[in-house]
Amino acid sequence: MHTKTFPIIIACLITLILGGLYIGGSGGILQVTENAFRDVLLLKSEEERLPDDRIKMIVIDDESLQTLGSFPWPRSLYADVADELMSAGAKAVAIDLLLLEPSADAQDDQRLSEVMKRWPSIYVPVQAVFPLLQKDKHSLEIERLDRPASTIGADKNQLGHVNVMQDQDGIIRRLTLGLPDEEGNMIPALSVRLANALLEKREQIIWDADKKVWIQGNRIIPTNDRYQVRIDYYSTAYDSIKGALRGYDRQSFSDVLLGHIDPNYYKDTIVLLGPYSQTLGDRHLTPVSRSIPLFGLEIHANMIQSLLEHDYYQEINPMIGLIMIFIITLLASISAAYFKGFKTYISFGLIILLYMSIGYMCFYLTDTYIPFLYGLLGILAGFVVVTAKKSSDERALRKHVTHLFGRYVSPDVVTALLASKDPIKPGGVRMDITVMFIDIRSFTPLAEQLSPEETLSILNRYLQMCTETVFRHQGMLDKFLGDGVMAIFGAPQRLESHVEFAADAALELTRLAEKWTADMEAEYGRGIQFGIGLECGEAVVGNIGSESLRMDYTAIGDTVNVAARLEGKALPGRIVIGPKAAARLESAYELHSIGRVELKGKSEPMELSELLGKR
């Protein structure tokens, strides 16, 4: 598959898979993890958490239970407190207690009924009972609605549902703005009722039955199919820990009932009255308190403040989210394909940082959630798949190069060359090398006596012997020149003692030639011997030729020319070396001076020597 198209194809496939999970998924571990990413965005410092002081709580806490006795209490107590608060100028009072059955004392219900008729802004809860399983994540089926006892005589406009729906991980992140009753009419949430008590009329939250949407002012509230909207949190369960902020203003019910707190303290506020004791339950986990449950009363207070501040967090349009997943996956795939080494991992980290920054900006500037987890999975999957493909291609190429280059140099040289960090520059590099030329003496007369098949067999045997010997001594086979061979020592992998490797190879070849000569004389009646020329020095080694048509990896320079001329001066079975090679070998090898000899192309005669063996 083409390198340029592979990242695009991979990005498309990954997006298709993740897109199906993102758009059509019904929860599971991916959604739980996605929610965990989003919860981090809701965390605030103590200075940032500023609960609205117009939201007050009168709590049925442990102190009240000790003062007033075991629960439940007579409903006339709630009526008396609510009446005092409204008389003192409170905007609204919500009694967050399920009053489903008539009171044992009819006068209690009568007292509460009278107070509620006097003050329409006193609200009591309705609770919906849902089936164990909904048909799908978009459905909202209700088995029944549990309303307050008829003896209380609450008007329908004084009812608000108190259902808080947990996500799959047991955490409450959403407010259900309303639930339909048996006739399809919408019952607002208790928090909606109380928020409207503080909002100006033109900014109040209402249900548009014709358009089937919730509206606040002149804009539609971004709810899902269950009329739910994500909310923010301004207090946590940790606020009650000593030394932390107090969260929402709250007082004990007994203190208010017994007159220890002036009712005028609640003027122009809304009041939530309900349980705030572990013995009474009603505690839930929230995004900002995942280990210590928060009392339901305080969750309602956070919901109210979210409505007051228009903090409605919405999902990004699914198609835009899908495009974001594709783009970030494609970016990760392309970077994995085109960057190498440490740069690959730097680009991987930068892409993650970029995507998280985009998500952060979308959240804080537009109150919009992007698909954090799915985007990160796309980045990781694109990076891993393309990197794996690139590694596979490199291994295949390495294998191919090893196989191909192994025809020219020994396996040890191939391994060292591939492991080297130093690239061979296009056009060649200047290197100190030893060049050796080998040629069969008297091969043409022998070939005239043999058939072409026999000639080819002898030639292949000769070339095989030369190649194996050169490879054993860390040399590189440059090229075959008919019945001649050119070999290089010290390239492409640099060797400190390349001239000694070349000398040992030449001496070994002469020994092998002696045995081969005996075999040839026995078989064909004529022996074959080699003439070898050898010189060291600087030469340019690299790719030489046409970049578009053909290139050869070879060496050029005076050293190469001299070595070729020396081979022509070598008698059968002899090794002739130049002055530079002689200078480096004379201490460890036996040399015989030939004298100064003129070489073709050289203006001055050169001092040549014959290599006899090691000392």
pLDDT over 60 at 372, yes or no? yes
Helix (H) or strand (E) segment spanning residue 319: helix 318-338
Of residues 363 and 4, the one with the higher pLDDT is: 363
pLDDT digits (tens, 9 = 90+) for 579-595: 999 999 999 999 999 99
Query: Average pLDDT, stretch 292-313?
Result: 88
pLDDT over 50 at 226, yes or no? yes
Measured from the Cβ of residue 546, the count of other Cβ atoms closer than 10 Å reads 8
Measured from the Cβ of residue 559, the count of other Cβ atoms closer than 10 Å reads 23
Residue 601's SS3 state is coil
pLDDT over 70 at 317, yes or no? yes
pLDDT over 60 at 241, yes or no? no
What's the DSSP call for residue 189? B
Q: Quote the crossing angle between the two packed helices 372-405 and 411-419, to the nearest 10°.
A: 150
Helix (H) or strand (E) segment spanning residue 129: strand 122-129
Average pLDDT, the chain: 86
Residue count of the chain: 615
Query: Average pLDDT, stretch 103-115?
Result: 91
pLDDT over 60 at 426, yes or no? no
Query: Average pLDDT, stretch 110-123?
Result: 94
pLDDT over 60 at 424, yes or no? no
Rg (CA), the chain: 45
* pLDDT confidence of residue 401: 67
3-state secondary structure 333-368: HHHHHHCCCHHHHHHHHHHHHHHHHHHHHHHHHHCE
Structure tokens at 212: 């089937």
* pLDDT confidence of residue 410: 54
Residue whose entry in the numeric block shows the structure tokens 């956070």: 302
Query: Average pLDDT, stretch 224-229?
Result: 88
pLDDT digits (tens, 9 = 90+) for 153-185: 899 999 999 988 888 788 888 899 999 998 889
* pLDDT confidence of residue 389: 85
Residue 596's SS3 state is strand
Does residue 390 contact residue 38 with C-beta atoms inside 8 Å?
A: no
Does residue 581 contact residue 433 with C-beta atoms inside 8 Å?
A: no
Confidence of residue 224 (pLDDT cuts 50, 70, 90): confident
Q: What percent of the chain has pLDDT over 70?
A: 90
pLDDT over 70 at 405, yes or no? no
Instruction: Name the pTM for this structure.
Output: 0.65
Phi, psi of 26 (to 5 degrees): -115, 25
* E-strand stretches of 136-177: 144-146, 159-161, 174-176
* pLDDT confidence of residue 576: 95
Query: Average pLDDT, stretch 422-448?
Result: 78
pLDDT over 50 at 494, yes or no? yes
